[in-house]
Amino acid sequence: MGHSNQGLINLSVDIDSVALYLALYGETSSDEGAAALTAQTYAVGVGRFLDLFDDLGVSATFFAVGRDLEVPGAAEVMRRASAAGHELANHTWSHPYDLIHRDPDEIREEITRGHQAIARVGGPLPCGFRAPGYNTNTAVLEVLEELGYRYDASPLPSWPYLAVKYAVMAGVRLRGERSASIVGDPRMGLARTAPWRQGNLVRFPCAVTRWTRLPVIGTSLVALPPLLRRHLAQDAARRDFVSLEFHAVDLMDVAGDRLPEALRRQKDLAIPWEEKRTRLLEALRILLSSHDAVTLRVATSRF
């Protein structure tokens, strides 16, 4: 989709296994069950995104969790993505939501092992990172610099998102369960909304609306009412650069894909995936009419 005098947009997909969503609601699964859910996330969720991007003729960035690539079939899906021109990037080794609360050696191990796992898939070495739960600290950024990474795509500068997240965590706790999510740094909700350079890294914040800072991410683009979904896309389209984040489960649903019933708490997972695909396409057509799609590896050279 080449146009002149256009803005740039990156489409990225965080490949968080369905098993990780269960953990957010205090649910657990056996090792065998978690592996099956991970394989399904790659084969179904990622597979549908690859088909969507192929239909649109765009390249995207996929953030993979390193240990998931050891599940049969997952690495093959990532090789398909790389062969299609998509970028593979680092989402840590095991997706610990409390990464920023680990000691520096554990942080280094999580990022380094994630890097090595993606490198084994083949293709260009990863040069970008997104943290679990969008949370980073100085120790995380120092490891990225040591590895020669070019960018960090973790920030989600949305105080409304944080408010909803904390409310969900409180609800889980009131039921006597424990969420895997953490509070993190509330100042993130007021971070910069345009890319900036920090040391040798470019920081790419996920898209939010200009004044209200509503998150313009896959979840909101499939779950909110039609007029608000359109507003989010049109507002984002006014920016010169848009980092639009999806999750693999944005193209999955509980009923059609026979996911654990506990995930009906995740409202967007109750929407049939075909309907979600239609809604995402509506937003993407708005954004791609004014923006050229690039991977974050390519976008880094512009900042």
Q: What is the pLDDT of residue 159?
A: 79
In the predicted structure, residue 2 carries a pLDDT above the cut 50: no
Q: What is the pLDDT of residue 173?
A: 64
Q: Give Cα 18 to chain centroid, integer Å.
A: 13
Q: What is the pLDDT of residue 179?
A: 52
Q: Is 2 helix (H, G, I), strand (E, B) or coil?
A: coil
> CATH says 7-302 is which class?
alpha beta
Domain range list for the chain: 7-302
In the predicted structure, residue 155 carries a pLDDT above the cut 60: yes
The stretch 153-170 carries a mean pLDDT of 74
Q: Which of 264, 298, 227, 294 is nearest to 22 (CA)?
A: 264
Q: What is the pLDDT of residue 181?
A: 55
> 101-113 pLDDT, tens per residue?
999 999 999 999 9
Per-residue pLDDT band for 253 (boundaries 50, 70, 90) equals very high
State which H helix or E strand residue 34 sits in.
helix 31-40
**202: amino acid identity, one letter:** V
3-state SS string for the chain: CCCCCCEEEEEEEEECCHHHHHHHCCCCCCHHHHHHHHHHHHHHHHHHHHHHHHHHCCCCEEEECHHHHHCCCHHHHHHHHHHCCCEEEECCCCCCCCHHHCCHHHHHHHHHHHHHHHHHHCCCCCCEECCHHHCCCHHHHHHHHHCCCCEECCCCCCHHHHHHHHHHHHHHHHCCCCCCCCCCCHHHHHCCCCCEEECCEEECCCCECCCCCCECCHHHHHHCCHHHHHHHHHHHCCCCEEEEEEEHHHHCCHHHHCCCHHHHHCHHHHCCHHHHHHHHHHHHHHHHCCEEECCHHHHHHHC
Q: What is the pLDDT of residue 27?
A: 80
In the predicted structure, residue 301 carries a pLDDT above the cut 60: yes
Q: What is the pLDDT of residue 167?
A: 57
Which of 28-32, 42-46, 198-202 is least confident?
28-32
Q: What is the pLDDT of residue 30?
A: 84
> 166-211 pLDDT, tens per residue?
555 556 566 666 555 556 676 776 789 999 999 999 999 999 999 9
In the predicted structure, residue 63 carries a pLDDT above the cut 90: yes
Share of the chain above pLDDT 70, in %: 90
Q: What is the pLDDT of residue 195?
A: 97
In the predicted structure, residue 120 carries a pLDDT above the cut 90: yes
Q: What is the pLDDT of residue 1?
A: 44
